[in-house]
Amino acid sequence: MHEHPLQRFFRSLREQPIFAWERYQMRDVLVIDHPLCQAVFSRQGAQLLHFQPRGQKPWLWCAAKWPHVGAIRGGVPVCWPWYGRHPSENAWPSHGWARLLDWKLLDSSSADDGVRLHWQLQLCDWQVDLHAHLGERMELRLSTEHQDDMPCQLSQALHAYWRIGDVGEIALSGLEGAQGYDQLSRQSCQQEGELRVDGGCQRVFQHDGELQLKDHAWQRELCIDTGDSADTVVWHPGSRPLLGVTWDEISEFVCVEAAAGGTDSLHLAPGEKAHLSLQAWAAA
């Protein structure tokens, strides 16, 4: 088991503030040390990179090395205002602009049940807000407001990389019977039984609500709720290499994402809002 690269901020036994800005790999990161949990956000992308309730192993995976510029692989990237390839502009970055830009932290607060943060990004005629509540559970809520006077299209995802003991020893339950599309075989599929992903997986399921990530190597189970999003995406590269990620690291994560608008883009009228959420908690 490799130590999460951002656990370095929590090695000291000295008392430290709940919120503290640090500089790491050429990014500004917000280190959160609360009695219930530890977490790290990047200002770039308002990206939750590390989350660990007290007494538990980390819930999120993050690559040890980050590129000098560009997206950070790991945590929960905010893919917005499109995810995947742009439908018409091939030169534009995959998964949108949001994960490449610095967001504003409008508010952060601490209470007995954890911490709350409010991040915001203004881009042209769009406003997108990310609200996070972290404690014994993890909750992220994304809200987009279209401020132009013409209708527009949108797709978005909370692209979570879940930290696991070994990808060959996990199973996802809760998707039984769900209809989907297998992007590797390029054909429709229906999930039968538990889903295992050690050979590679890139499936988009028409599923919302709760599923269970069973991690046999770490002997734990995380409940993941994608809310009322249109799709639940499950992804792992299998034997395909990832730029900047070692082979050992690839076995330590699986992506289970909340997504909307990927198959049928969301159409927003002027002033209309779109919402996306992702929650997780440890099974009893």
pLDDT in tens, 22-37: 999 999 999 999 999 9
Report the chain's mean pLDDT, rounded to a whole number: 91
For residue 205, the model assigns a pLDDT of 94
- Whether the predicted pLDDT of 13 surpasses 60: no
For residue 265, the model assigns a pLDDT of 67
pLDDT tens-digit profile of 173-199? 999 999 999 999 999 999 999 999 978
For residue 61, the model assigns a pLDDT of 97
42: helix, strand or coil: strand
Q: Which residues, at least 6 apart from 116, have a Cβ–Cβ distance to it below 8 Å? A: 107, 108, 109, 131, 132, 133, 134
What does the longest C-alpha to C-alpha distance in the chain come to?
A: 55
Which amino acid appears at position 202 of this protein?
Answer: Q
CA distance 231 to 224: 13
pLDDT tens-digit profile of 144-160? 988 777 777 888 999 99
Token digits of residue 150? 């013409």
For residue 106, the model assigns a pLDDT of 98
Cβ count within 10 A of residue 53: 21
Q: What is the mean pLDDT of residues 70-82?
A: 94
Q: What is the pTM of this model?
A: 0.94
For residue 243, the model assigns a pLDDT of 85
- Whether the predicted pLDDT of 55 surpasses 90: yes
Between 209 and 69, where is the model more confident?
69
At residue 263 the predicted structure's pLDDT band, cuts being 50, 70 and 90, is low
Cβ count within 10 A of residue 257: 26
CA distance 159 to 272: 23
